[in-house]
Amino acid sequence: MDAFHKHVGIAAPLDRANIDTDAIIPKQFLKRIERTGFGQFLFFEWRFTPDQQPHTEFVLNTAPYDKATILVAGPNFGCGSSREHAPWALLDFGFKAIIAPSFADIFYNNCFKNGILPIVLADDIVASLTELAKTKPGTELTIDLEQQQVIVDDKTVYTFEVDAYRKMLLLEGLDDIGLSLQHEALITKYEQDAPFARPIA
């Protein structure tokens, strides 16, 4: 998992509330066994017509938003089923951070486990960022995880809260497996010593 320190990227506005995980990655695309390759199916039913032609009016199908790495969305983002494929699809598409007034709990946790930073800001701030991204396409935001700041135009700064443990994992680029592997030598020694510590009768 890549470490997250400071990221500068284009913000894409997706001004909808209660975007659920089935909208993020529809169930028919959950058959893959890898974590990669899901980006092409992100928001599939919104991005494409029934005959799989791009919806030209959908934000992520239009430049410069098709190169966005920061998503600004409505409240309760990631509700619905607990599928981990949702953050996989967002990450594979290129998103590094999501800003919203609130997130569904399981989706929020899954973001940290997969290297995406979910940022909770007040409704009025999210509305302001959404309007900015709409009226000034290509607007870039700077997200500084160490300082816990979202910076607009190098002058407007919004501070966000993040759990210290989750922050550490993102800064170090560690998921659950990576965290365990920090103790690989101790785990190996335990496995080597275990047969002698518990001999078979």
* Per-residue model confidence as pLDDT tens digits over 164-182: 999 999 999 987 655 655 5
* CB atoms near residue 103 (< 10 Å): 21
pTM greater than 0.85 = yes
Q: What is the mean pLDDT of the chain?
A: 91
Whether 61 has a pLDDT exceeding 90, the answer reads yes
DSSP 2: -
Average pLDDT over residues 31-44: 91
Q: Which long-range contacts (CB under 8 A, 24 or more apart) does 23-32 make?
A: 23/80, 24/78, 24/86, 24/89, 24/90, 25/83, 25/85, 25/86, 25/88, 25/89, 29/85, 30/83, 30/85
Distance in angstroms (rounded) separating the CA atoms of residues 38 and 14: 19
CB 61 within 8 A of CB 55: yes
And the tokens for 158? 């919004």
Tell me the fold of 6-173: Aconitase; domain 4 (3.20.19)
| Domain assignments of the chain as residue spans, ordered by start | 6-173
Average pLDDT over residues 123-152: 97
Distance in angstroms (rounded) separating the CA atoms of residues 94 and 34: 17
Grouping H, G, I as helix, E, B as strand and the rest as coil, residue 143 is strand
Q: List pLDDT tens digits, range 78-135.
A: 999 989 999 999 999 999 999 999 999 999 999 999 999 999 999 999 999 999 999 9
